[in-house]
Structure 1
Amino acid sequence: MLRTALRNVLAHKGRLLMTVLAVMLGVAFVAGTLVFTSTIQSAYQKSSEEGFSHVDVAIQPVERKSDDENLKPVDNLNQQTLDKAAALPGTESAIGIVSGFTGIAKKDGSLAGGGWGTMGANYYAGKDGKSEDSRYPMKQGRPPQSANEIALDAKTADRTGYKVGDTVPVSVDGPVRQQKVVGVFTTDDGSVQAGGTLVLFDNATAQKLLADPGEYTEIQLAAASGTSQAQLKAAAEKLLPPEAEAVTGQKLADDQSKQIEKQTSGMQTAMLAFAGIALFVGIFIIANTFTMLVAQRTKELALMRAVGATRRQVTRSVLLEAFSVGAVASAAGLAAGIGIAVGLRSLMSSVGGGDMPEGPLVVSPNTIVTTLIVGVVVTVLAAWLPARRAARIPPVAAMGSVHAPATTRSLVLRNTIGSLFAGGGAALVLGAISSDDTKMMGLGAALLLIGVFVLTPLLSRPMIAAAAPVLKLFKVSGKLARLNAVRTPRRTAATASALMIGLTLITGMTVIAGGIQHAIDKMATGSLKADYAVSMANFSQLSPDVKKKLDAMDEVTASSAFRTAPARIDGEKESLSGVDGSNVADLTSLEFTEGSWAGVSGGKKAVVDTDMAEDHGWKVGSTFKVTYQDGQQGALTVAGLYKGNQVIKGIQLDNKTLTPHMAKVGDLQVMVKTSGGASDAMKEKLEKGLGNNPVVTVQDKEDISEGIAQMISILLNILYGLLAMAVIVAVLGVVNTLAMSVFERSQEIGMLRAIGLDRRGVKRMVRLESLVISLFGGVLGIGLGVFFGWAAGELIAGAGLDTYSLVLPWGRMGVFLLLAAAVGVVAALWPARRAAKMDMLSAIKAE
């Protein structure tokens, strides 16, 4: 039986090629994902270990917990703590660290680096200012020594073209500083390796810009020879100021490695999910292939049974064929996956604008074993049902070519099960909307998808019959194509289902993304009357000097800075938002249910969103006590109630009331109204007035909308790229089905040719059959996708995005339907050509 199975595999190389390709693509995606994520994990972990190689113990401020009673920010470390740490027994050296966001402009004025990866730090030259900072060896020039000097990392210098002696625009919190480059240094910082930037200031300037004079955000200690990290940590703990902790360098490296692993595991899970979809689609192709191969070998299997082979042996014979196919496809998929990993690594570097940390390609034994097992198991499982069917065929019936069609009982059972699954799934989806249960939604969607798949043979006849008027235009070829498409409903259903699943996911995600984009766009632009919103590129706090510069411009008629600070109300931690009460009404468009902004300016009044007011039992005129960030207590009176959204919500009071209680004053954004309204010329004037700052963005409503659209489009394009794998597998499925169908109908095609159907008519018949099957899958997929998109959207709206509404992307859905048609046309090219080239006499004589 083993020899027979292997001979059958070799005898049907062409027929099994599509199956091998389908399995290989899914397996390649699994292998590529595992190799890629393992490689970047290893590279970043190695980089982080190198980054902490000079650190044995770090003294850091403890992050305040969310339920902490203290509202003030944690104090930084001071020079006194640094001096004590340097004098500890077992300390070889102590370095004070200051770091924070710092952006530099490229020569074209745009921001170098990638937002959060654009950092600044201090060059610590010792207490006397004459030592060298071992973290940053100078490649060219010297370290910065005065307030107008900086040093750049070597990779940033190469990317931007800056060199020693150049003057560079630099910004920390808004205002632009013209800094002279006096040095270029090398660093093993992982952020720099990944495309970020690092700017060094002298110690005093860094403290002034990134912390406060005389303060450090961290102190790093190196142990003397003979002192372990644990011993130095124990000694350092004795001098710790309040709200500070000592951490070993090893723990810092381990924590960063865990964080990297956690970040990459999310990406790995998402990519493996799409690989699973591709494999799931491939199951239909494998099952179809083995079903047709078994049908073609009915007499052969019956003869084997007649000469003594048992049902179990026949089943094993088919499964051995599947195992052989799966093993070959998995090995090829592993090789292709390694190539995919290399390509993804290069793509990530080019898209990110930088290079990933250096490191070898990691192909672990677990990856190899997992990949091979997945491919083989999927193939064998898909072939198990056809194998069972083959073993159950009575030998006499099979040898007489009596093909038993599906019984009425089996069809009724299948349709009943499908209806129960589909009905139950739809009920769960609808129930999940009312109960806001995402898990129920996921279960319902899965059951509905399975139910529709089971019912697909039943649905195929009426849906394909609906295409009859169009197919009549193609006369005999069109009629034959329709009859061939419904001749074997199960095979047609399995082929169409592969395409249906891919298009269901693509359509559903597009509908959801369109609704979210419309909702956020409506919130962002509908709640604003301002012409422009000015903010930091990385959404950190703006310096109040930015608003002062804007107010000094003749074109600016009104502006309001938005600030936030923590507070305590009724024993609970809340956030207070500061606005300029005198003109905020001219810059925002809030829907008030009671009261208004009147009285907020310069007073002890505030406006509150309706949800918060309901939670606390407030109404217009209510007074509530507030504990501010500095610990002082006060009282605020409710002047108005408004409907909040994701952009503006909570408690809004005047900046003159809030600012005196803030630990550090900074603006989240500044809303601006201009005399000439929004225009390209006005935007250019504002940017010029702010010094063409690389870290500050000036956006009008259109810019805000385009920014939202761009982010969602990028995400959708990534998803389309990943789901394209499933569509490619579906194409192979259609090709496979048609090729097998043409082989089975050789005699029939020969007879058609003999009675007058020319080669062009045969080609047209096969192409139309393929087109009908593909469009059937496409219509089902788009319909299910719209339903799932609507249901998920209702769940999103119930979760708080009130402005969400169903937006049907008719244009994209039309493209998806054309894509389904294109799949049918492309998939039919080879089978149609093969059918047309048949010799009619040989075909008539074929069994």
Structure 2
Amino acid sequence: MLRIVLSTLRHRKAGFAGAFVALLCAAALVCACGVLLDTGLRGSVAPERYAGAPVVVTGDQFVHQRKIKKKGKVKHKAKAIAERAWLPAPVADRVRAAGAHDVVTEVTFPAEIGSGADESWGHGWESAALTPFTLREGRAPGARDEIVVDAATARANGLHAGSRVRVASAEPGVYRVSGVTRQALKNQAAIFFSTAEARRLAGHPGMVTAIGATGSKAAIAGALRGTRATVHTGKDRGKAEFLGAEKSRIKLISMGGALGGTALLVAILVVSGTFALSVQQREREIALLRAVAATPRQVRRMIGREALLVGLVAGPLGAAAGLPLAFWLRDRFRGLGALPPNLDLVVSPFPPAAAAVAAVVAAVAAARLAARRTARIRPVEALGDAALRPARLGAVRALAGLLVLAGAVVLTVVLAGLHTDAASSPVTMLAAIVWTVAVALLGPVIARAAVAVLGVPLRAFPVGGRLADANLGTGARRLASVITPLTLMMGLTATILFVQTTMGHASARQATEGTVAAHIAGPKVPHGTAEEIRRTPGVTAVTEVVHSTVRVGLENYGIQGVTPSGLDKTMDLDVRKGDIKNLDASSIAVSTTAASRLHVAPGDTLRLTLGDGTPIAPKVIAIYGRGLGFGDLTIAHDLLAAHVDDPRGTLLIAGTAPKGVPTTDAASPAEDKASTNAEVNYVAMGLIIAFTAIAVVNTLAMSTADRARELALLRLVGTTRGQIARMLGWETLAVVLIAGVLGTAIAFAVLTAFGQGMTGGAPYVPPLAHLGVLAWGALLAAAATALPARLAMAARPADVIGARE
């Protein structure tokens, strides 16, 4: 058996090359996604600011929920909050009482000087010991208007002791540089103020962001039991310092899992199709084996071992290629701001090993499944069946196709009822893939129906069109095999592209329609500037807007804080119920989508946790329609600003805009957020699209190359090269049309359900972008057909037929 397998692999290199490439790409994708998932699960961030403090105490950065289940079991869940949790300053006394020494308190708040690091924070000089920072020149800040800057900030802005510089913060001002540190942190800038000034600018009287100490973690944790303080040591201190890194780590878990699952599903579909086509091309030789007494089991074992050998080579190579692919993904995500630079990938043997095993299992399973029908042919019928290649659809395959089709319909209906991105995103991709699986299973029936429709116009063209019609009619199984990957590519590409445009367009439209202010200033405008603009002649109203994320239970909701006075002159939230004019610190307005999910109406109390972990229970006073453009929840500006890391925000100005105030357009905040999310999704899912594109080229090239004998016979009976080229052109056009219609139909069904659930309206599909997707599919199909056909026709027809015989 092994000799037959090796001989087959040696003499049918072209056919197995397609399966090899598909498996290699599949293993690379699964490995890269596995590395991302592993990083999310086990990745850590080394501390920078807190490197000199063995023990760091911070506020609890999680919202907790405990449920008592059957038999008294308690299930605990925790979700991260969006902002920094603060601690009462007296917690430091408890730490000291636990026997700790070198206890240092820390306040952290946004503060920037000109150009420099992406992250820049202000601190009190007393917390310089946490790193530690030491002075290179000058002295510590003593007066209220003095600061110490780190070495990198001084170098970037040309500062030295004695310089005067403007510092942007919640209360901007001009300060004198009293000193410059020797040290600079890699991923953040540090500006040190006097203790009193730092606490004033932080805006949280009697509170601190962290406490550094030297002592026993167990003793300190015991002393803090019953408070909302958490104790960190080792690399865990990095979580306390870089809140964004922890959020990114959690996001990597969901992204790696979703992307890896989607990649695996696509890989199974693509590899199955590739092996199915390979087995179809070998039906004649398999039939000969059956005719000389090979049993169905032996045929299946032979094909399975062929796939095993291909998988054993392609799997490890693909897994090895997946490691640099994971680093490429890391760099792209860092460039988009979705991954912090100090969260490094965790590279372990588990993802490559899992990817290699997955490739081998997928290869063997796909090959055995593809050989099922051929291996069961009765020996007497073998040669006739191989010659005729009927396109009958077996009862098992037909039943499976109908069941999968029903599953696709159910998923699409479910998608129409999902209103959050976290819930709808995986279902959207899954629905598109399941629709494609249904197309693959019912492919021969779809192909015959499509050929019957296209045959009429094709027969209008002499020779080329008629030959194409005849070939398509007799090769329905081959046609179904090449349609599937092209349908998958077009359907997935359109779905991924237009999910983003649908959300972005809906958000921007609501923001534009709901912003009635004449001008918008921002971002990061401090409260003092807003007060100055209010006093400017010609300005009739100024609305300060600050954004954050809150938790209702464990669910995330976007929230905005707005100044209630003059809100009707700057913002129209499309209030459906209640009245937003009476918005104050004890009330809240809720979008229609959030209200339906939370089951609240005007007059109800909504319990939620603000971004810094503070629980509130405001009364619902209004329900509004423009939640996509402005956030699901709206509360008073002063309430929200007191519980965010950066209270600076955007200003909506009614009337004449003062000179010197930077303005932007109404849709930009919504569009920027949608654009950032879209770019991350494009990078992640673009790899799967690239994989399907490779599968399209593979399948079409294998299909065309296998027709060398057929093309040679046509040339022997007098068909010219030009007529054959036109025949292949018409066939390719038919394939692209069928796949384009199917892919468009799949995308339209999924996008319509997605739009209904997420935006309450129809999907937004730019016509030119959709034409681009179809054109890209047509280009790939043409290239994958033309080159193998040219190579096949380069040899003399007699030589080709002689070699095949």
Note whether the superposition's TM-score is higher than 0.5: yes
Which is higher, the Rg of structure 1 or of structure 2?
A: 1
Aligned to 1:796: 758
> What is the letter of the counterpart of residue 790 of structure 2?
R
Counterparts of 2:289 and 2:763, CA distance in 1: 55
Check whether the contact 2:95–2:220 (CA below 8 A) recurs between aligned residues: no
Query: 1:645-660 to 2 correspondence within 5 Å?
Result: 645=627, 647=630
Q: CA deviation at 1:431?
A: 6.6
Partner of 1:133, secondary structure, is helix
Query: 1:222-621 to 2 correspondence within 5 Å?
Result: 222-223=214-215, 228-234=216-222, 236-237=223-224, 243=227, 245=229, 247-249=231-233, 252-253=236-237, 261-298=249-286, 300-302=288-290, 305-306=292-293, 309-352=294-337, 356-357=341-342, 363-398=347-382, 403=387, 405-406=389-390, 410-411=393-394, 414-415=397-398, 417-419=400-402, 421-423=404-406, 425-426=408-409, 429-430=412-413, 433=416, 448-468=435-455, 471=458, 475-534=462-521, 536-537=523-524, 543-554=526-537, 556-561=539-544, 579-581=563-565, 583-591=566-574
Q: 1:820 to 1:156 in 2, by over 3 A?
A: farther
Q: Deviations over 1:25-45 (max 9, x none)?
A: 111112223345546877x52
Q: CA deviation at 1:54?
A: 3.9
Counterparts of 1:354 and 1:411, CA distance in 2: 49
Q: CA deviation at 1:278?
A: 4.1
Check whether the contact 2:31–2:355 (CA below 8 A) recurs between aligned residues: yes
Q: CA deviation at 1:777?
A: 1.7
Counterparts of 2:394 and 2:239, CA distance in 1: 58
Counterparts of 1:54 and 1:814, CA distance in 2: 58
Counterparts of 2:111 and 2:130, CA distance in 1: 22
Q: CA deviation at 1:22?
A: 1.2
Does residue 120 of structure 2 align to residue 77 of structure 1?
A: no
Aligned to 1:570: none
Q: Deviations over 1:723-748 (max 9, x none)?
A: 322332332333343234323xx1x3
Does residue 793 of structure 2 align to residue 836 of structure 1?
A: yes
Q: CA deviation at 1:823?
A: 1.3
Aligned to 2:711: 749
Does residue 20 of structure 2 align to residue 25 of structure 1?
A: no
Aligned to 1:3: 3
Check whether the contact 1:102–1:171 (CA below 8 A) recurs between aligned residues: yes
> What is the letter of the counterpart of residue 200 of structure 1?
F
Q: CA deviation at 1:749?
A: 2.2
Aligned to 1:691: none
Check whether the contact 1:423–1:448 (CA below 8 A) recurs between aligned residues: no
Query: 1:674-685 to 2 correspondence within 5 Å?
Result: 674-675=655-656, 685=660
Question: Given the alignment, which residue of 185, 191, 195 partners 1:199?
Answer: 191
> What is the letter of the counterpart of residue 276 of structure 2?
N
Check whether the contact 1:520–1:708 (CA below 8 A) recurs between aligned residues: no
**Structure 1: stretches of 5+ with no match in the other structure:** 107-111, 126-131, 567-573, 677-681, 688-697
Counterparts of 1:418 and 1:488, CA distance in 2: 20
Q: Deviations over 1:545-589 (max 9, x none)?
A: 1211212444534323458999xxxxxxx99966353x3332233
Does residue 105 of structure 2 align to residue 96 of structure 1?
A: yes
Cα RMSD (Å) of the superposition?
Answer: 4.8
Question: Given the alignment, which residue of 759, 762, 766 partners 1:809?
Answer: 766
Q: CA deviation at 1:398?
A: 4.0
> What is the letter of the counterpart of residue 364 of structure 1?
S
Counterparts of 1:534 and 1:296, CA distance in 2: 73
Q: Deviations over 1:453-500 (max 9, x none)?
A: 322222223334544566467632233233323322122112211121
Partner of 1:182, secondary structure, is strand
Percent identical residues = 20
Question: Given the alignment, which residue of 124, 127, 133 partners 2:126?
Answer: 124
Partner of 2:530, secondary structure, is helix
Q: Deviations over 1:596-640 (max 9, x none)?
A: 788x69999999989989988869xxx9999xx9x9x9x9998x9
Q: CA deviation at 1:819?
A: 1.2
Check whether the contact 2:40–2:249 (CA below 8 A) recurs between aligned residues: no
Check whether the contact 1:76–1:215 (CA below 8 A) recurs between aligned residues: yes
Check whether the contact 2:273–2:484 (CA below 8 A) recurs between aligned residues: no
Q: CA deviation at 1:824?
A: 0.9
Partner of 1:47, secondary structure, is coil
Counterparts of 1:718 and 1:637, CA distance in 2: 40
Query: 1:38-53 to 2 correspondence within 5 Å?
Result: 38=38, 45=44, 47-48=46-47
Question: Given the alignment, which residue of 116, 133, 148 partners 2:129?
Answer: 133
Check whether the contact 2:543–2:570 (CA below 8 A) recurs between aligned residues: yes
Partner of 2:661, secondary structure, is helix
Aligned to 1:733: 698
Aligned to 1:694: none
Does residue 193 of structure 2 align to residue 182 of structure 1?
A: no
Query: 1:767-778 to 2 correspondence within 5 Å?
Result: 767-778=729-740
Counterparts of 1:32 and 1:294, CA distance in 2: 34
> What is the letter of the counterpart of residue 742 of structure 1?
R
Check whether the contact 2:436–2:484 (CA below 8 A) recurs between aligned residues: no
> What is the letter of the counterpart of residue 491 of structure 2?
T
Partner of 2:121, secondary structure, is strand
Q: 1:661 to 1:232 in 2, by over 3 A?
A: closer
Q: CA deviation at 1:820?
A: 1.3
Aligned residues: 760
Aligned to 1:128: none
Stretch moving more, 264-273 or 584-593: 584-593
Counterparts of 1:64 and 1:723, CA distance in 2: 34
Check whether the contact 2:468–2:727 (CA below 8 A) recurs between aligned residues: yes
> What is the letter of the counterpart of residue 102 of structure 1?
A
Counterparts of 1:76 and 1:602, CA distance in 2: 26
Q: 1:253 to 1:763 in 2, by over 3 A?
A: same
> What is the letter of the counterpart of residue 307 of structure 2?
A
Q: Deviations over 1:290-318 (max 9, x none)?
A: 31353242365246x43xx5432332122
Partner of 2:109, secondary structure, is strand
Partner of 1:670, secondary structure, is strand
Q: Deviations over 1:692-750 (max 9, x none)?
A: xxxxxx4321534643553354245325523322332332333343234323xx1x322
Q: CA deviation at 1:119?
A: 2.8
Check whether the contact 1:471–1:482 (CA below 8 A) recurs between aligned residues: yes
Partner of 1:33, secondary structure, is helix
Q: 1:461 to 1:722 in 2, by over 3 A?
A: same
Partner of 2:282, secondary structure, is helix
> What is the letter of the counterpart of residue 94 of structure 1?
V
TM-score (norm: length of structure 2): 0.80
Partner of 1:450, secondary structure, is helix
Counterparts of 2:331 and 2:107, CA distance in 1: 33
